[in-house]
Amino acid sequence: MAGPGHDDWPVLVHDDWAATAATLHMWTQVVGKLRMALSAPVNHWWHVPLYVSARGLTTSPMPCGVRSLEIAFDFVGHRLDLACSDGRLETFALRPMTVAAFYAQVTAALARLGVDVHIWTVPCEVENPIRFEDDTVHAAYDPAAAQRFWRVLLQADRLMKEFRGRFLGKASPVHFFWGSFDLAVTRFSGRRAPPHPGSALLPDSVSLEAYSHEVSSCGFWPGGPGAEAMFYAYAYPDPPGFAKAPVRPARAGWNTALGEFVLPYDAVRAAASPDAAVLDFFQSTYQATADLGAWPRADLERGAIP
């Protein structure tokens, strides 16, 4: 396990890479929309996310007729790879470029591979969206910052998979949602939930499918304007008393503005054992959800976990 400030948990200050984060968010939306268009629908929109890989983020193989296509961000070699199961490969360098230029390169590569796919080019879950083909605003790419971001995702992905393995009930994969730009894993009680009200950035049709059943969800978000990187946890629906439930570790607490528990990433880096701090946060917030919500824990958990 890593110690305080260990290199496996690199510094991730939003202001230091804000422009790159905003551009990368839009690039992942381009690739994510292709995944959504090429993949068969799965419950809770699980056909939409990307996945953490040994070198970056990937769509996983997507069917294109009898062929498969995988699109991967490589944050080690700093390139985008579009690999077909017939052996053909298209690749281009990740460097400072506009979203419009990135979208044009992806579209051209798909055409050379003979992949005919159409997407809605308006970004999702962002304020004042700009169509991909018109976006000349976002154009930054700092390779070192992108790699630091991926290295944090690697650690978060590893711990979320460990936490997921403790659960016998229905649980989501660990996946990266390109709309909200975060990594998440979700546990389900097995019971239907009341209709989700949606939000200004998330249409009712999306929310109703995503939250059709009771959930306890946790994840990692790299931060945004005015907010630093954090681990988070929430329930839907919130059981009575949820916001006041005791959670661990000491730096974790309820964020009224977000309506969820948060654990600052800097607190994780400073912990004697970052792994233990994150897993304690996941476990204690889940227990608050399950106990206050009267989940059948004995039927859902692998062994007695304190």
Output the pTM of the full model: 0.95
Q: What is the pLDDT of residues 220-274, one digit of tens each?
A: 999 999 999 999 999 999 999 999 999 999 999 999 999 999 999 999 999 999 9
Q: Which residues contact 257 (CB under 8 A, 6 or more apart)?
A: none
- pLDDT of 203: 77
- Residue 3 reports pLDDT greater than 60: no
Per-residue pLDDT at 5 exceeds 60 = no
Predicted confidence (pLDDT) at residue 28 exceeds the cutoff of 90: yes
The alpha carbons of the chain give a radius of gyration, in whole angstroms, of: 19
DSSP category for residue 132: G
- Structure tokens belonging to residue 210: 């995503």
Examine the pLDDT at 4 and tell me if it is beyond 80. Answer: no
Q: What is the pLDDT of residue 205?
A: 79
* 189 in Cβ contact with 295 (< 8 Å): yes
Strand partners, 79: 74, 93
Q: What is the mean pLDDT of the chain?
A: 95
Nearest CA-CA partner of 56 in 142, 185, 149: 149
Tens digits of per-residue pLDDT, 180-211? 999 999 999 999 999 988 887 777 878 988 88
Quickly list DSSP for 161-189.
HHHHTTB-S-BPPPEEETTTTEEEEEEEE
Q: What is the pLDDT of residue 6?
A: 61
The 10s digit of each residue's pLDDT in 121-141 is 999 999 999 999 999 999 999
Among residues of the chain, what percentage have pLDDT more than 90?
Answer: 91
pLDDT of residue 239: 97
Q: What percent of the chain has pLDDT over 70?
A: 97
pLDDT tens per residue, range 265-290: 999 999 999 999 999 999 999 999 99
